[in-house]
Structure 1
Amino acid sequence: MAKKILIAGESWMTYTTHVKGFDTFYTSSYEEGVGFIRDAIEKAGYEVEYIPNHLAPDKFPTTSEELNKYECVILSDIGSNTLLLPNDTFAKGLKTPNRCELIKDYVNGGGSFLMIGGYMSFTGIDAKTRYGQTAVKDILPVKCLDIDDRAEHPEGIVPITVKEHDALKGLPKEWPHFLGYNRTVAIPEGEVLATIGDDPFIAVGEFGKGKSAVFTSDCAPHWGSPEFVSWEFYNELWKGILDYLTNKA
């Protein structure tokens, strides 16, 4: 039976005002960026369950038993408030489980965790994401900044592999360029495998009985450039990271 992977995030809605002289009208749209990484993970032999951002407040697991069904939990471009403020708490004033604490307990108990970068990852745009102020910080192999952590590079920036590791097995030294990433700080508890600028790009660590990893740029556009998402080693990258995290390597 295929190992199950949970991905939460990687979706967004837009609401646009069109002004045409005296008149205005509105359009709205819903989009997902999960397709690239979901396809890669499924091709690696895993079963993927996906929870988009707008469903995560009420659909993300609320018990250890639910989380333990998965070999790895991936958060990608989903803010901590989405996990901390389900409708029952925010609208009804009811007590609900702290899902950042649950993720920490899940990893310490033997689960694996991956955070992928984006405007709503790590500390995020305008410091709104603030995972460094939650229990998730205790199982990250890097330290989050206290301020808006985006490093925007419209000119393109290329990561550098600095250490050989099973998670990067089979990958070439040359990476495609990215258009930005979340800045973080290396810590003794983590092992930095690749850098971008002067910051961690891929880092891994062991926490309790489990493992965690970070990929501090985007798995999809816009920080993930067309050259990255069409890279011949894109699928191999995620396979290697998931195989390492789930002890399959």
Structure 2
Amino acid sequence: MKKVLIAGESWVSQTTHIKGFDSFSTVVYEEGVEYIRKAIEKAGYVVEFIPNHLAPVQFPSSIAELNTYSCVILSDIGSNTLLLSPETFSKSIKTPNRCELLKEYVYQGGGFMMIGGYMSFSGIDAKARYGFTPVKDILPVECLKIDDRAEHPEGISPIIVKEHEVFRGIPEEWPQFLGYNKTKPIPQGEVIATIDGDPFIAVGEFGKGKSAVFTSDCAPHWGPPAFVNWEFYDILWANLMDYLTK
């Protein structure tokens, strides 16, 4: 049975409550992986999930480890989380460049997908920085060098622009999204759906492997309830996994 690794899709929020003279803080840990995880598992794949706070230690640090997966998905996890392991950041010890390993993994035949979010592609304040890492060489789009968020609180609809197996059983009319990461098309990639004229879903082949991007969110907030509860939500992710792991 094929295994899929999802990294990211978690966050910790700290709130300060001020009550007159006094104040106190509360902290909550949350995950957004449940929707896509269930969809991929429903399609017959085994899913392993590494949340953001564990990724610096637990994300694979060798090709051998990566090769145990048929596809690796990065969703809302910045490049620093992969690059700056505790050994390197705190102890100045050399460690493998896991962005370079992802590139090698795809060129050797692995499947890879990046999903949008505040810490995907270039990200908020350009902090995700994937355009400055080897991951850029396996993306079927080009990252911007600035904050790439396109916020659309009014809602915006994607448009299918090319027939592709990813859209098998998917209608032309989609739910609206509340934002996405702006990217640029490149010759090595094929844009098969757009949003406001920018890439929404793009695919490409790199070496022996395949890559895809979904530039909005697989969960709230950019992916609103109308999307995550869409009757074709599960089919979409199943089709993407089937394409990437053939």
TM-score normalised over the length of structure 1: 0.98
SS for the counterpart of 1:13 is strand
SS for the counterpart of 1:91 is helix
How far 1:80 moved relative to its partner? 0.0
Give the AA of the match of 2:77: I
User: Unaligned stretches of 5+ in structure 1?
Assistant: none
Superposed CA RMSD: 0.4
Alignment match, 2:22: 23
Moved over 4 A (4+): none
Give the AA of the match of 2:45: Y
Alignment match, 2:45: 46
Give a deviation string over 1:147-182, Cα, whole Å, max 9, x none.
000000000000000011011111000010000000
Is 2:239 the partner of 1:211? no
Alignment match, 2:111: 112
Mapped partners of 2:167, 2:95: distance in 1 = 38
Is 2:82 the partner of 1:90? no
Give the AA of the match of 2:141: V
How far 1:64 moved relative to its partner? 0.3
Mapped partners of 1:169, 1:224: distance in 2 = 21
Identity %: 73
Mapped partners of 1:42, 1:230: distance in 2 = 16
SS for the counterpart of 2:16 is strand
Give a deviation string over 1:177-220, Cα, whole Å, max 9, x none.
00000000000100011000010000000000000000000000
Alignment match, 2:62: 63
Give the AA of the match of 1:118: G
Alignment match, 2:5: 6
Mapped partners of 1:86, 1:169: distance in 2 = 40
SS for the counterpart of 2:240 is helix
SS for the counterpart of 2:91 is coil
Give the AA of the match of 1:33: G
SS for the counterpart of 1:114 is strand
Alignment match, 2:171: 172
Give the AA of the match of 1:172: P
Mapped partners of 1:34, 1:92: distance in 2 = 32
Is 2:72 the partner of 1:73? yes
Mapped partners of 1:177, 1:21: distance in 2 = 42
How far 1:63 moved relative to its partner? 0.3
TM-score normalised over the length of structure 2: 1.00
Is 2:124 the partner of 1:125? yes
